[in-house]
Each structure stands twice: as structure tokens, then as C-alpha cells.
Amino acid sequence: MTSEKNNLNTEVAENKPDTSWQKAWNSQRENLQIVIIALGLAILIRAFIAEPRFIPSDSMLPTLHIGDRVVVEKISYYLEPPKTGDIVVFSPPEQLQEQGFTEDQAFIKRIIGLPGQTITVKKGLVFLNDKALVEKYIAEPPKYQWGPYQVPENQYFVMGDNRNNSNDSSRWGFLPKQNIIGRAVVRFWPLERIGKV
């Protein structure tokens, strides 16, 4: 009889009703798990797949305007090297950091020259291996001369589409590949100009 009483008491003790705090925790635990997973995924996506960027200057006019927002994808350059014409976001190389820019101040420019190619700017044209580029995307022809210079290995020659108002390779030199964050693929703001870049 005594052992039966003890068993009954044990069962009652194990089935105590949850306190209000425990009920609240149990009801919100699943929500908290979802938030943590979503936050983790957002961090991973931003670090390795894609991220939004804001255009702070007019150096890429007329292609990109001040205040435009673009999606920068980071996957394709693991599979293939950058190409001429790609619009890339990059962290400032040493030459720009020496001018006072910090590593977190990203730049956006168009790739014009690939490793091993020779770039010359003269007579209002950009020449790639002595062949003039047809550039329908620029604001106006460049009013300066530069080169000829050969692009070193693992580096790129980048220019803003607003040729005469762009802090680009024509001013500070070549862009190391490791500084490239990713490639701008789509403008998502403003809504009236949404689309591929």
C-alpha cells in the first residue's frame, strides 16, 4: 500500500501544470527558432550569395543614378572570371586606402580591361589592344589621355560610365581580383527603373 501511494505521488508530481512562464516560452520557442534560422540564412546569403548596395555617386551615370539600389551577386566569379563590361562592386585597393578611403567604402565600376590586355585612352576613345571600344553606355567621351598600359595578372582595369567624373583605374591604377565583392546584376530601386544593369 505504501509503495502504491509513493507511485501515485510521483506521478502527480511529474504531471504538475506548466507555469505561465513555461507556457509562454513553449508557445514562443518555435517562433524564436524560426527567427534565428532566418537571421542565420540572411547572414549567409549576404556573405556568400548576394547583397543589396546603394549607389552614392554619379560616377556610373547614365547607367546608375545616385540613390539607385542594386543586387550584387557573389557566386558567378567562383565559377568563371570577370568579363569585359561587367559592373563590379569592390573594396578600395591600397592606392585608394592611401587617399583616405576605408575598406568598407565599396566602389562600383565597369570592367574594361582584363589581365594581359593593353588599355589606352586617347582622342575621346578607349582602346583595348589597339581596337577602339564602342561604348553606348557612357555619359560622354573621355577628355583625357592615359596609357598605353598592360593590365597585370590577376588585376583589372575599371572605369565609371561617367568617364570625366569617375575615380577609377585611370586615376589610381589597376584593381586586384581579390578586392572584387561581386557583380551588379539588377536594379531594384527606384521601381520605375527596375531591371537588369
Question: Which residues are catalytically annotated?
Answer: 59, 109
Q: What are phi and psi of 121, to 5 degrees?
A: -120, 120
**Measured distance CA(108)–CA(81) in Å, rounded:** 17
- Residue type, position 68, single letter: D
Residue 155: φ, ψ to 5°:
-135, 165
Residue 39: strand, helix, or coil = helix
Q: Which residues contact 22 (CB under 8 A, 6 or more apart)?
A: none
Taking the alpha carbons of 111, 112, 116, 119 in that order, is the dihedral positive or negative? negative
Taking the chain, what is the end-to-end CA distance rounded to the nearest angstrom? Answer: 83
